[in-house]
Amino acid sequence: GDSVTQMEGPVTLSEEAFLTINCTYTATGYPSLFWYVQYPGEGLQLLLKATKADDKGSNKGFEATYRKETTSFHLEKGSVQVSDSAVYFCALSRYGNKLVFGAGTILRVKS
């Protein structure tokens, strides 16, 4: 079945450091790919998405590129802030409304 694998955390960075969170997926066909973020004490919210190969999703300084050849959708940000501390979930959708989530990666940013 469909699955999403994320790098294990927690990831701890200093402010202004470069961030990469790896995400790979297993699915037949051409799923849509997503990154959701969960801030402390809140529900998940959509950060960015890409719906076809080579698409780049971007939002709030975060970027991820849909790589069909490596089945990956890695999340990157050039300079993280303390306010970026959260749990980041990679997800895919192949059947319209159903999302399959990865386990989540905790990001901690120190000032």
**93 interacts with other proteins by CB under 8 A:** yes
- Residue whose CB is less far from other proteins, 18 or 30: 30
**57 interacts with other proteins by CB under 8 A:** no
**45 interacts with other proteins by CB under 8 A:** yes
Strand 44-50 relative to strand 32-38, pairing:
antiparallel
- Residue whose CB is less far from other proteins, 2 or 76: 2
Rounded Cα distance, 78 and 1, in Å: 34
| CA angle (89 as vertex; 23, 100 as ends), nearest 5 | 85
- Residue whose CB is less far from other proteins, 102 or 107: 102
- Residue 10 CA, distance from chain mean position: 14
Listed ranges 20-28, 40-48, 66-74, 77-85: which one lies at the site for other proteins (CB under 8 A)? 40-48
In Å, how far are 63, 77, 95 from 20, measured between CA atoms? 10, 7, 28
- Residue whose CB is less far from other proteins, 86 or 102: 102
